[in-house]
Structure 1
């Protein structure tokens, strides 16, 4: 048996990493995948714990597509590497925060690792490089990078950045919306696109007093020039040629798809409209001339750009009409003519939200991913008929899928509740998937996973996952934790490092993971059923599946708790105000008062489409605070821009002043508030994630298991260190 603190009652060491939080946070984390043009090399990114355990550092690893050789590490920068992409000549481009040779500033620097030879720093600039996009069959590399909005050239960008730094100013003057995104402020730089070009920068030459031919310029604009990183004798000189220039909101960045022949790119961007709204549209940009043409734009519709066919004539596009208080999202796949922008429906009878990731080499079909019934499989869509075929059969979630040059094999990163992300190979003909030799081994799972389902009052099927501890259940059954997913448009279908049920299973808890109304992977009707009705069907569906779990002989229905984050935190708050069946509630990064959340979140335009005055009034948890009689643990990060800290602060204040379990005369309370001054919507720092679990487990042990309140972690400064 394992105690709540993760130690074994008989003192024997565990053979899995979920009993010890230090072991869990130290597990390597695989993400991302890129395939070389010849199909001979796969590269993924692996994050490992820093020596001081206060963060993760990433490195690039090569995985053998044939499955014959062990994975090997390619980079060893102390600051980590990311964003890997293969160019047509086999060069692997990536970004790194390590200073370039001879440089001092830590910024996201562009590096290149040739097929044979050592990595070299290509260029460094203020605000760094944010993304890399390479043509599959041509020498064309497109880079995403922020540029200060007052700069016309890279030299002016560097000069303005130095002016801000020297003045110690970080203020931002906005003229539009939005102004922040998830956990960072937008501006003063805007996302731009550049082509990586050979030779010296002609703009820099002119600004330093030379014309393109080397003669003195008539008037020098600025003496400031961007730094070329790590230049060594004999290295080719390269610079950034500015590509974008069309009107758009700086918003959340730009999406890029580069044509395989390197002649053009399709760019997805957003445009501000009246009343602070946004809509997404698609432009075509000629990579040689910079000529730009808006191909597709519709009022009241978002258009998302997907992969371009190998012959360059078609691209997959997702067309999404804007939602309303009564109309749920309805994104649909289309094929777009890349010359005219004409859209043709693709697989419109498919009742899933498809996300295209690649074309087969002969352009006969598109490979797509979509949530489906507790999984996220791989699908094949015939480009002519729209016929959809599920490729992978197992209950797994796939991401970053790429296609071999001969079109017979797919590679991707897959995970499930039974194993963390790993690089795997799929035989396209049979759908058979198998793991490749990965940089990290699968950890042993301390329990079993079952699919459960029930029927809601209106007859709708409600499904989810049930995690059970290993071994025989106690006579009374396992205590049960209800975990409610965020989104709300999402599904419990993939491994989660932030919400890992096996940590709970290792301590004797069963965990139910329901997919209620608003969950993806069950059809559009399931989403419409909960649209604008957050406190209705999503709530009753969750309780219905909880009832089904509690009816089992191996579950103790008298010892249950509810937990959730983001929308799951909203639902935890709603649960707290509408039932006393749970012994404890844990609410993380949660929505509390919808009238306050809507205008202050980072994407108010999106939530405003659903949140009418009537919807907010009917579904806001704060209206039911006086009915809360369950101990609550409130958790929030100050840098959370998706659900601003004001939600957590107001919840805490009203919980103490108005709930059925208010603070005592001396100010003490059964409720708790775990506040992170520097975390955002997620808890990212490993030491903070570990503390999160320690506090949650202690709260549950006290209120669900009925144990004496455990000693608080010494790092909170509220108790003396033990031992």
Structure 2
């Protein structure tokens, strides 16, 4: 079994990936794949068992010319011998997928508008470089997404077959993703065309003939988007995730569906499944004629593995933890994947493919975490409508009734998300190491608590979700080992918005940290890559102002008194810098103590390891100053 392992580089400012071999039995220690180098990632096996992977490693021309550029290419690693590059593309390859039983590979890579193949694309790139032009003309899409600028390149799907040249199967759309699948026999390729400015909430699934690129079927549904495509073993059906985003009048709804490629019929595979776990990619049994599938999804602070049988019966296979990267053995009897939890980083595990509520078998992996500076428990409360609420509570090692710990409340982003897995950003354990307890609440709009959790929060961004967080905080602070007089509130993205709501709604907290947070909801409409999404939720601000007036925290700025630390990335396209600048100017104008930690090269999340360390140091020093009364310590590198 081959895994891609990411680690911090020698400089401590970035990440590097290498390929590791993991013994499925767990008997032998994991080891680096022979001849793998830094920059190898995304391993997969071709139909003949050859290891394929993506890499930015350079390749020197045998004639002795200078090494070629380090764009990401597709490489093959024979069992004995050096890696060889089997596909390259100007600007790099974003992703690939292999046919299970044929010598065919689908690649995702870019083309410029007006270019038809790799050759014309390379010439167009060279022409732009010679003319020193980096401008982009946008016609149907936003200029950025999450943390990156878009265009002018557009992602396409290419098919490589041993019996002919590469075929361009079709465009994935201007803002498309690397969401591609191949039928097991390599005859069909499926990909998504992204939503456009004309239909911002609807994407299209395209199934094309791999040898020619000609379309065989297209599937779409107004107001819905499809992701994470997979073919059944006989290639007759395409299974994928279907997502209906929240609107002014409807809640989020995510399910798994199957498209019959002959009839075009679409079938909901989870019609009665009310866990609302936001099911992930379906992992289909590779056994011909076996319709069993597996998937993961949030459930009450966990993300278990579920099994769906032919009759629609759903069985939960794991009792705790958060699972990802599932794969199934060729006989359909065993699953492998990654398991993490709030108190456990990801580890490779083995599961029986049918046993309910089992404990995983941990397979040896490198660099396991040996200890944590505290313990994990749960807190329970009731919402103002009687709905049962829960949260994780991290307690530092020395918390007791004699030495109650200060508490930091940290709601998750999203809002459609849940605290269930290990995270590198906003991880609670650095806080615990400093002596803080951390409450990780799942309020209204969180996933894993049934559709009712969405209904009770719809249209109330700063209403019921915020009240749920406060109810859980009150329940936690009823414990003798927590100090109700020393509390703080911190959050990122939607959690940062709730931090802004706390700043304008109460003075009970000693300090507030607002990271990548919404402040002025009307201004957000024109400054985010998801303007159509937010307008669906809040309505047109010119004609339906009710939710803006109720939930835009900037309207209550005059109530702010609590010292605040703002954290924001300069390349954030989801919540633009304008939101942070507006919040900062309001705090300065009102005379509220404020500090602004700005990362010019980061996006909606802080990702560079050195920046994450700086963020933790700044946040913890800020809390120490305002919550514990210690002298302010400015980080040395700032």
After TM superposition, the score normalised by the length of structure 2 is 0.94
1:484 aligned counterpart, secondary structure: coil
Q: Give, in angstroms, the shift of residue 703 of structure 1.
A: 0.4
Q: Distance in 2 between matches of 1:534 and 1:175?
A: 32
Q: Distance in 1 between matches of 2:164 and 2:283?
A: 35
Give a deviation string over 1:13-45, Cα, whole Å, max 9, x none: xxxxxxxxxxxxxxxxxxxxxxxxxxxxx1111
The higher relative CO (CA closer than 8 Å, separation ≥ 6) is in: 1
Alignment of 1:429-468 (within 5 A): 429-430=354-355, 431-468=358-395
Between 361-370 and 403-412, the greater mean CA deviation after superposition: 361-370
Unaligned runs of at least 5 residues, structure 2: 62-66
- Which residue of 2 is the match for residue 20 of structure 1? none
Q: Distance in 1 between matches of 2:214 and 2:262?
A: 13
With over 3 angstroms needed to count, the CA separation of the structure-2 counterparts of 1:355 and 1:78, relative to structure 1, is: closer
Aligned length: 622
- Which residue of 2 is the match for residue 82 of structure 1? 41
Q: Distance in 1 between matches of 2:228 and 2:33?
A: 32
With over 3 angstroms needed to count, the CA separation of the structure-2 counterparts of 1:657 and 1:598, relative to structure 1, is: same
Q: Distance in 2 between matches of 1:88 and 1:623?
A: 59
1:361 aligns with 2:286: yes
- Which residue of 2 is the match for residue 43 of structure 1? 2
Q: Distance in 1 between matches of 2:226 and 2:604?
A: 27
Q: Give, in angstroms, the shift of residue 75 of structure 1.
A: 6.4
Alignment check: 8 A CA contact 1:281 1:304 kept: no
Give a deviation string over 1:580-631, Cα, whole Å, max 9, x none: 0000000101101001112211121222211223222210111111101100
With over 3 angstroms needed to count, the CA separation of the structure-2 counterparts of 1:459 and 1:616, relative to structure 1, is: same
Give a deviation string over 1:55-93, Cα, whole Å, max 9, x none: 111111111112122111126776512222211111122
1:428 aligns with 2:368: no
Q: Give, in angstroms, the shift of residue 476 of structure 1.
A: 4.3
Backbone CA RMSD of aligned residues: 1.8
Q: Distance in 1 between matches of 2:399 and 2:111?
A: 60
Q: Distance in 2 between matches of 1:75 and 1:647?
A: 49
1:523 aligns with 2:445: no
Between 287-296 and 433-442, the greater mean CA deviation after superposition: 287-296
Q: Distance in 2 between matches of 1:592 and 1:148?
A: 36
User: Which of 70, 75, 78 matches 1:106?
Assistant: 70
- Which residue of 1 is the match for residue 91 of structure 2? 127
Give a deviation string over 1:466-495, Cα, whole Å, max 9, x none: 000124526240000001100010000000
With over 3 angstroms needed to count, the CA separation of the structure-2 counterparts of 1:428 and 1:124, relative to structure 1, is: closer
1:685 aligns with 2:608: yes
Between 556-565 and 257-266, the greater mean CA deviation after superposition: 257-266
User: Which of 562, 581, 594 matches 1:649?
Assistant: 581
- Which residue of 2 is the match for residue 373 of structure 1? 300
1:569 aligned counterpart, secondary structure: helix
1:633 aligns with 2:565: yes
Between 45-54 and 577-586, the greater mean CA deviation after superposition: 45-54
- Which residue of 1 is the match for residue 24 of structure 2? 65
1:84 aligned counterpart, secondary structure: strand
- Which residue of 2 is the match for residue 136 of structure 1? 100
Structure possessing the higher radius of gyration over alpha carbons? 1
With over 3 angstroms needed to count, the CA separation of the structure-2 counterparts of 1:625 and 1:550, relative to structure 1, is: same
User: Which of 314, 324, 331 matches 1:406?
Assistant: 331
With over 3 angstroms needed to count, the CA separation of the structure-2 counterparts of 1:79 and 1:429, relative to structure 1, is: closer
Q: Distance in 2 between matches of 1:358 and 1:138?
A: 19
1:387 aligns with 2:313: yes
Alignment check: 8 A CA contact 1:127 1:147 kept: no
Q: Distance in 1 between matches of 2:362 and 2:476?
A: 32
- Which residue of 1 is the match for residue 167 of structure 2? 241
User: Which of 254, 262, 273 matches 2:186?
Assistant: 262
Alignment check: 8 A CA contact 2:141 2:196 kept: yes
Q: Distance in 2 between matches of 1:464 and 1:278?
A: 32
1:714 aligns with 2:622: no
User: Which of 186, 191, 200 matches 2:150?
Assistant: 186
Unaligned runs of at least 5 residues, structure 1: 1-41, 202-239, 663-669, 717-723
With over 3 angstroms needed to count, the CA separation of the structure-2 counterparts of 1:562 and 1:428, relative to structure 1, is: same
2:253 aligned counterpart, secondary structure: coil
1:610 aligned counterpart, secondary structure: helix
Alignment check: 8 A CA contact 1:592 1:647 kept: yes
Give a deviation string over 1:129-160, Cα, whole Å, max 9, x none: 00010111221111111111221121111111
- Which residue of 1 is the match for residue 14 of structure 2? 55
- Which residue of 1 is the match for residue 64 of structure 2? none
Alignment of 1:297-696 (within 5 A): 297-351=220-274, 352=276, 353-362=278-287, 363-383=290-310, 385-394=311-320, 396-430=321-355, 431-473=358-400, 475-612=402-539, 613=541, 614-658=546-590, 661-662=591-592, 670-696=593-619
Alignment check: 8 A CA contact 2:191 2:229 kept: no
- Which residue of 1 is the match for residue 216 of structure 2? 293
Q: Give, in angstroms, the shift of residue 682 of structure 1.
A: 1.2
Give a deviation string over 1:244-297, Cα, whole Å, max 9, x none: 15xx631132521211121112222224253x6241121111112222133312
With over 3 angstroms needed to count, the CA separation of the structure-2 counterparts of 1:686 and 1:323, relative to structure 1, is: closer
With over 3 angstroms needed to count, the CA separation of the structure-2 counterparts of 1:503 and 1:271, relative to structure 1, is: closer
Q: Give, in angstroms, the shift of residue 305 of structure 1.
A: 5.0
Between 306-315 and 582-591, the greater mean CA deviation after superposition: 306-315
With over 3 angstroms needed to count, the CA separation of the structure-2 counterparts of 1:697 and 1:111, relative to structure 1, is: same
